[in-house]
Structure formats: structure tokens, C-alpha cells
């Protein structure tokens, strides 16, 4: 009976530990929250090197944007819909919309890569054109 109890405890512990693994949608949600708040430094921390470079360009655009452009950026919201994981790569499907026009939802995909155990947003210039 004790061997069965020990095996059961080990099984429960393994299941519990696997639930604690970082998830791509957690990183994607943090990334989207940073974008909504125009916190580009926080968004860079969740991005790959390529994404950080692109965020620097977007940040410089935002710093030179007029009030209307800033308002449009602040009105953009995101919601994760689905996540597809394949090894150390994942695709997060999300909706994006303008809060002044909630019916304008568009679906997009966000590429993710697992680097040193953490999920990072991986996007390049071509991703902005999609």
C-alpha cells in the first residue's frame, strides 16, 4: 500500500509541475498589455532580438506621433483566441480591434519562440504587413 501511495504522490507532483510551465499565451498577453500601455521597454523584454529591433522603430514612431495617432494606438486592444505549440515554436492566434469600433475585429497570428525556457514574441517587419 505504501508503494502505491508514494507512486500516487509522485504522479500528482509531476502533473502539478507540468502545469507550472510557462505558456506562450501568458507571454503574448503580457506583450499585448505592454503595447496597449505603450510600454515598449516591457514589450522588448518579452521579444526576441528581431522583435526588439522592430519595437525600437515603433517606439520612435510613437514618440513622434501626433495626438490622433497616439489615440489610435491607445484604442487598440488584443485578445488571445488560440495557441498552437510545436516544440520550441508556437503560434498565438489573436483578435485586434479599435475600442471606438468594436465590430472591427481582425484575426492575426503572433509567432512565439521558446528561448532559455521562456516564451518570447518573435516578429519581423513582414509580420506588420499581414
Q: Which domains does the chain have, with CATH numbers?
A: 22-128 (3.10.450.50)
Q: How high does pLDDT run on average in the chain?
A: 84
pLDDT for res 9: 40
Q: Which of the residue ranges 18-22, 31-35, 58-62, 86-90 would you say has the lowest mean pLDDT? A: 18-22
Residue bearing cell 519581423: 124
pTM of the full structure: 0.78
pLDDT for res 126: 63
Q: Give mean pLDDT, residues 69-91.
A: 92
Amino acid at each position: 500500500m505504501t508503494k502505491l501511495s508514494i507512486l500516487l504522490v509522485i504522479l500528482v507532483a509531476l502533473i502539478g509541475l507540468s502545469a507550472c510551465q510557462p505558456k506562450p499565451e501568458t507571454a503574448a498577453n503580457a506583450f499585448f498589455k505592454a503595447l496597449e500601455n505603450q510600454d515598449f521597454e516591457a514589450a522588448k523584454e518579452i521579444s526576441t532580438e528581431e522583435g526588439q529591433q522592430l519595437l525600437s522603430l515603433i517606439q520612435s514612431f510613437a514618440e513622434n506621433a501626433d495626438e490622433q495617432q497616439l489615440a489610435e494606438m491607445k484604442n487598440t486592444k488584443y485578445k488571445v483566441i488560440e495557441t498552437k505549440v510545436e516544440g520550441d515554436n508556437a503560434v498565438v492566434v489573436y483578435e485586434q480591434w479599435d475600442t471606438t469600433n468594436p465590430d472591427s475585429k481582425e484575426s492575426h497570428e503572433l509567432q512565439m519562440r521558446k528561448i532559455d525556457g521562456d516564451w518570447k514574441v518573435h516578429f519581423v517587419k513582414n509580420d506588420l504587413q499581414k
